[in-house]
Amino acid sequence: MDLIYDAAAKFLVLEQFKYHFVVSQKRKLQVINLNFIDTDFFHIAGLHYLTDIVIPQDRTRTMDEILIKHTISDQANSDFWRNILILIILSEYLISVIREVWLP
């Protein structure tokens, strides 16, 4: 399977949960609420850097294309594709860590 598909499929699991963190530093509490929606994946994976190919502006449509076709149209024609592979790998790693640590 394609790396982008693997990362997108794992990202979908994160949408099912909301994360609530309370952190403290020097007796001051900070509340962090974290949630994910399918349109977030576009930027987390660095797809906005693929400026030399046409990607649908509708982020939901882009996510659907990845999940249905297991790839992005014209990704092989992009000169920037190799540059964002590290972002895709890092996003997949981040998703895996969140799933292992915080999901039931």
pLDDT greater than 60 at residue 43: yes
> Which among 8, 21, 14 is positioned nearest to 35, based on CA atoms?
14
Report the alpha-carbon distance of residue 39 to residue 27 in Å, rounded: 36
Q: How many domains does the chain have?
A: 1
81 or 20, which is more confident?
A: 20
Global confidence as pTM? 0.69
10 Å CB burial of residue 57 (0-12, 13-18, 19+) is exposed
Domain limits at 68?
3-102
Please name the residues in contact with 71: beta carbons below 8 A apart, sequence gap of 6 or more.
Answer: 2, 4, 5
Main-chain phi, psi angles of 76, to 5 degrees:
-65, -25
Tell me what pLDDT residue 104 has. 60
